[in-house]
Amino acid sequence: MPRFWNREPPLVQWLDELPRLVAQACTAWALEPDGGARHGSNALAVPVHRGGEQFILRLAPPGDDVAAEARALTFWDGRGTVRQFEVDVPRRITLLERLGDDSLDSVPLDEAATVMGALMRRLAVPAPPDVPGTDEIARRRATEFPGEWDRLGRVVGEEFLHAALAAAAVCGQTEASTAVDGDLHGAQVHRATREPWLVFDPVLLRGDACYDLARLLWTRVDEMDDAATMYRHADRVIAAAGLETERAHAWIVYRAFDYLLWGLAHGLTEDPPRCVRLLGAFARV
């Protein structure tokens, strides 16, 4: 569900202003709308064109860090990601390369795993030194795990807390200087013409490409009948991305536990059981 569907006053005001914002961007950038608007979970997308070129006008609600998103797209500059042509940070509007309608979630698991691994490898170029590091994130979150686990009613056995802390210790030592998309999953990878598949809405981090492997699993774990299928899917991504298996499995445990706690604290009901399934398969308790 889009987060801008709630009735908080800033979001209501933004929704009321959308027609004016679209008109202003079209005037400023010499664009013409050419299709119905659609949305994901974080933004409204309006198909537009300029001459013979087709684009997407992305309008983000209040609270969206458009400056960071624009920096990420500028950094990768179309290497595995959608291209960005214009940006208006104060109004939270960007003009992006138009992608196809089909996401990577629409293709079979094995094919999706191979594509995702190749994209992870393609995104792994030297990163800016001033963006958050995955090792730093893992070390910081590990200090918060015991207290959050306790406050949430010890929702899984203590053995899973210990497994997550051990995994976080591994993840916190895996220093790397390559770029990582910290929000990579199939719904944010769409078919394209310039490259077969391209990522949009990336989050630029520095560190270990294994960081978001767990997200690739929990977003499609309902299609995986058992632990063996989870391992096969994970290992196919790992092989395609050129990652080290044991370290990748540690990241799965750490991130699954991390998201389990976050999801429960924020009232999610569907994703926490998916994280528990991943922990049951990968934590080896």
Strands (E), 11-104: 32-33, 38-39, 44-50, 53-59, 84-88, 93-97
Chain center to CA of 140? 20
d(CA 131, CA 261): 24
Of the candidate ranges 13-22, 111-120, 273-282, the one whose mean pLDDT is the lowest: 13-22
* Count of Cβ atoms closer than 10 Å to residue 77 Cβ: 9
pLDDT, averaged across the chain: 95
**What CATH code is assigned to 3-97?**
3.30.200.20
Contact criterion met (CB below 8 Å) for 171 and 250: yes
pLDDT tens digits, 29-40 = 999 999 888 887
Domain edges within the chain? 3-97, 104-282
Tell me if residue 77 is catalytic.
no
Paired sense of beta strands 93-97 and 53-59, if any: antiparallel
Question: Of 3.30.1370.10, 1.10.357.20, 3.40.50.720, 3.90.1200.10, which CATH number belongs to 104-282?
Answer: 3.90.1200.10
**Torsion of the alpha carbons at 111, 114, 115 and 121, rounded to the nearest 10:** 180
- Whole-model pTM above 0.75? yes
Catalytic residue among 88, 105, 183, 235: 183
What would the mean pLDDT of 61-78 be, rounded to a whole number? 95
pLDDT tens digits, 133-166 = 999 999 999 999 999 999 999 999 999 999 999 9
